[in-house]
Amino acid sequence: MKRIFFIFLIIALLTSLASVSAVEKKDVVCSVYFTGIGCPHCAKADPFVFGSLLQENPNLVIIEYEIYQDQVNAPLHYQYATNYNIRTGIPSLIFNSDTYLRGDTPILNNADFTVKDLESNPCPLTDALVDFKDVDFNMLSGNPKIWVKNRIIIKGNERIDSEIIKDLLFNNITRSLENIDYEVIEPVDVALSGDKRSFAYAYKIEDWIFQSNAKVTVNINQEIVIDESVNVNVPWCVHDGQNQTQGACEEEIKELTFAKIMSLAAIDAVNPCALAVLVLMLVAILTYNPKDKKKVIYAGLAFALSVFVMYLVYGLVIIRFFQLVQALTSIRLVLYRVLGGAAIILGILNLKDFFYYKPGSFMTEMPMFMRPKAKKMIGHVTSPKGAFFVGAFVTIFLLPCTIGPYVIASGILSALQLIQTLPWLLIYNLIFILPMIGITLFIYAGFTTVENVAGWKDKNIKYLHLISGIIIFLLGLAMILGWV
């Protein structure tokens, strides 16, 4: 009898150990996932990340931050990139500063192997790595969703015990709900990029929402019984107009890339229109002060500075306009393609100027009717101070021929919060005025003359249009086809 009792005791002990929360184990692999509703690359990765990756790795915790529609989460993307020394871009699955996956293909090909190789991993929070058992979910930045297998918790604003969250995510749901106040509610569809995940059952704890696909029944005592061995098969749906169907998602603005913005800035920088205005201004200065070269450098730099300041303001206005438009989701979803189409059209117009050049062409050069007015205004410039104020005003005349690439760049940048666009706009406009600064310095140093610069521009203007046309056409095509 003693042996039998001892055997039962061992079995009971092993059973209790087996039921110990996964929170107490050392095998929890915790990660942070950044995505965006409508991002085409995310649309490829999201179904895998929140589907088979979670299903096949029951010890995996994913803290999800959606950054396109939830502007509170957007700054966190750059905070993580800075703190963990990684590149920005979505989708991205972050485990730590040494282990992270960026882009749909790396995630689809490597995420499962990465999780299995790690075996365990602390949670990469905004400022530090923290063991899952020590995480205070109330202190998580932004508006995250916490995923584990077929379960999800959507963070609320009220403070609740983090141990409750960990129990609900890993332990027996029935026991986890026994000693807390909760309300059974209608399940909330969880939006993904071009897709959504539906759940069978949902519970509200304070203002946090816990959802699961475990089978739930009510016994004869009117008690809720949750059978976690059975998962309700809830289909993945795609929102297409007003109907829920299987299929591909609508595409939206893609993640911001350095190459796109810098390419557009470089195209804008060699714009013949802006160079022509600078030459006119320097001619006016030299005509008035033929021997005072200091006036040339001061006036040229003042002109470049005024263009820089005014275009920075224009950029903020354009970006804010796009952000207001994107408040309408249906418009936001097609904006990226519209911008790609605009780039293709602008590229074609520049290519046309190479084969059939005509001064004052639409959207590629300053219109002919504006030129006399601009020339007359510039002709009155006699000082660096005058160059600054006239330069600021003349930017209005420059807009028709320089605004194309800037609008496309601003549309891409509009996915960020307005304050976050400032570094990008500063870099863009610095590149835009670099030729102006360079020409001014070359003339001041005596390496060339205004006449030589004007002659070079006139001689090569068709080739400037050719280069601009090819680059911006290919960029627009790549945007439309989803290559970048």
Task: Please list the pLDDT of the chain residue by residue as tens digits (484 residues).
Answer: 555 445 444 544 444 444 344 444 448 999 999 998 878 788 889 988 988 899 889 899 999 999 888 888 888 988 898 888 888 888 999 999 899 999 888 999 899 989 998 888 999 998 889 999 999 999 999 999 999 988 999 999 999 999 989 988 888 787 788 778 888 888 888 888 867 788 888 899 999 999 988 655 444 444 444 444 444 444 333 333 333 322 333 333 334 457 778 888 888 887 777 677 777 767 766 665 656 667 778 888 888 898 899 999 999 998 888 777 654 444 555 666 777 788 788 889 888 888 888 876 766 666 777 767 766 776 666 677 877 887 787 777 777 677 778 888 888 787 677 887 898 999 999 998 898 888 888 877 877 776 777 677 678 778 877 877 787 788 778 767 755 5
* Cα–Cα distance, 431 to 271 (Å, whole number): 12
Q: Which residues on adjacent β-strands are paired with residue 415?
A: none
SS3 track for 32-65: EEEECCCCHHHHHHHHHHHHHHHHHCCCEEEEEE
397 neighbors 374 (Cβ within 8 angstroms) = yes
* CA 370 vs CA 189, 462, 464: distances in Å: 55, 21, 21
User: How far apart (Å, rounded) are the C-alpha atoms in residues 468 and 264?
Assistant: 9
Residue 33 φ/ψ region, left for φ over 0, alpha for ψ in the -120 to 50 degree band, beta for the rest: beta
Q: Which residues contact 255 (CB under 8 A, 6 or more apart)?
A: 36, 39, 41, 88, 89, 90, 415
Say what the pTM is: 0.47
CA 418 – CA 320 distance, rounded (Å): 7
Q: Give the domain ranges of the chain.
A: 28-245, 258-481
Using alpha carbons, list the distances in angstroms from residue 215 to 21, 182, 308, 395: 21, 18, 62, 65
d(CA 362, CA 142): 46
